[in-house]
Structure 1
Amino acid sequence: MQLSTLAVLLSASLAAGQTNTNLQTKFPTATTTTGLPAAKTIAAGQSFDGKMIQWDRSPSTCKSQTEGGDKDAVFILEDGATLSNVIVGPNNGEGIHCKGKCTLNNVWFTDVCEDAVTFLQKSGTSYVNGGGARGASDKVLQHNGGGTVAVKNFLASNIGKLYRSCGNCKTQYQRHSTFDNIRVTDKSSVVAGVNQNYGDTTSIKNSCILKGKICDRFQGNSNGKEPTKLGTGPSGTVCAVTAVKTSGC
């Protein structure tokens, strides 16, 4: 379903001024920069405040779209860890790895390499509150584990996909994602890619999606092959949309 059609269907779109003011529409400037020789681990249940420093790797671990691992990340969050007020720089391959449930508060990505965040929890909910990402040729949020990823007040600019439920992981899960008060600004962007055959669901509400697509639905697999695309656009509970504006926001 193209956005021109979607705009007509979404008669309950947001009224002017209704959007949550917690959404920032400009990327922040770092207070300073630092290059880590290895990924920094935040222990289970602990919190780390990055004080709006740009955190990166030195030397760079970015290898374009080559899949990396923990060693190429900037931060590794153990189960229940919280990361706040961080700008992730361009010289890393994997951004943040959440080994279990995690919370990201006001975390920004200036130029995404392979992906920005990988969620590996087997169950439960991880939260992305505020922040944003730009310059991602492919994915921003990669969901390889199970459970739910809940995104709120997020800004995305010049990206491929904001979220992807892994299409060909060896171990597959039923995955869920929610998006509330997000802003996506580019015509090539997709908010969410989900695996319809595994029972994935995504919901997008109270948001501004300019020119891009709401969702792509796939036939996922566990054999490593490229998943088959089944369709694009809202489709029942697989991809549910409420109060989304496609222009003037």
Structure 2
Amino acid sequence: MHSAALLSLLAAVPTAMACLGYEGGLPKSTGTKSLSAPRYLKKGEVFDAGWVKYDRGVKCGGQKEGGEKDTVFVLEDGATLKNVIIGANQGEGIYCKGSCNLEFVWFEDVCEDAISIKGDGTANIIGGGAYHASDKVIQHNGCGHVNIINFYAEDYGKVYRSCGNCKNNCARSVHMEGVTAKKGGELIGINPNLGDKATYSNNCFPRFNVKRTTAAISPRAIVRLRRRVPVKL
């Protein structure tokens, strides 16, 4: 689980890992700020937003591919963003350009993607959640590892997806634990042909049936989840 950095982060969350995504809706914001350009967090910087809602003041363009210029926050290697709400008026949510920590980060209404892991290293996504992602919540393009702990997703296409057609593609890994997901599609999507690996435990989501690609028996590459029969994975 790439646990050295993760252990200190988990001190702030409950110790019993079992479907702990917060289901009480978006936290109440303490104000709103519309940015004219992405806010960059420098290498190693820690930014506590104090539950301010940040956006870009522009209407979402749907699944039209955006870029770094359209993001709300960009985190350089080792940066931490915490206690923030990303509002609906934006084209791209957050880019991580290396290892990063996202602690209790919420997305009111996902546009293209909520979180894009662009760089190598380990990304820790602790708590928080996302609503209304017509496609992906977390897009993993860099070569590294992602921990998704106690996250909440509702009305989504995919919670996590490893890039299948990135230039200079590579093997990636993901660990998902304590996640609560509702009214959505894929929980985890990886590429076994590239050597991707996924581990997961104590995740709750609705399911009618589970379908896997034949190449996904070990590890399971794509889990498609339907309807409202709660199960644990």
TM-score by length of 2: 0.83
1:200 aligns with 2:182: no
One-letter amino acid of the structure 1 residue matched with residue 74 of structure 2: I
Q: What's the offset of the Cα at 1:20?
A: 4.4
The answer for the alignment partner of 2:178 in structure 1 is 181
CA distance in structure 2 between the partners assigned to 1:215 and 1:132 by the alignment = 25
Of 138, 155, 160 in structure 2, the residue corresponding to residue 158 of structure 1 is: 155
CA distance in structure 2 between the partners assigned to 1:239 and 1:136 by the alignment = 20
Q: What's the offset of the Cα at 1:110?
A: 0.7
Query: Is contact 1:76–1:97 with CA below 8 Å preserved after alignment?
Result: yes
The answer for the alignment partner of 1:237 in structure 2 is 219
Please list the CA deviations of residues 75-105 of structure 1 after superposition, one character each: whole Å capped at 9, or x if unmatched: 0000000000010011111100001110000
One-letter amino acid of the structure 1 residue matched with residue 48 of structure 2: D
The answer for the alignment partner of 1:247 in structure 2 is 230
The answer for the alignment partner of 1:92 in structure 2 is 90
Query: Is contact 1:62–1:92 with CA below 8 Å preserved after alignment?
Result: yes
Unaligned runs of 5+ residues in structure 2 are 1-15, 224-228
Q: What's the offset of the Cα at 1:167?
A: 1.4
Unaligned runs of 5+ residues in structure 1 are 1-17, 217-229
1:125 aligns with 2:125: no
Q: Which protein has the larger Cα radius of gyration, Structure 1 or Structure 2?
A: 1
CA distance in structure 1 between the partners assigned to 2:131 and 2:192 by the alignment = 27
- Taking only aligned residues, the RMSD between alpha carbons, in angstroms, comes to 2.3
The answer for the alignment partner of 1:116 in structure 2 is 114
One-letter amino acid of the structure 1 residue matched with residue 152 of structure 2: L
Query: Is contact 1:139–1:162 with CA below 8 Å preserved after alignment?
Result: yes
Query: Is contact 1:189–1:213 with CA below 8 Å preserved after alignment?
Result: no
Runs of 4+ residues over 4 Å off in structure 1: 18-22, 212-216, 238-241
CA distance in structure 2 between the partners assigned to 1:231 and 1:109 by the alignment = 34
- Structure 2 counterpart SS, 1:197: helix
1:107 aligns with 2:90: no
Using the aligned pairs only, state the percent identity.
42
Q: What's the offset of the Cα at 1:171?
A: 2.0
Q: What's the offset of the Cα at 1:212?
A: 7.0
CA distance in structure 2 between the partners assigned to 1:235 and 1:56 by the alignment = 40
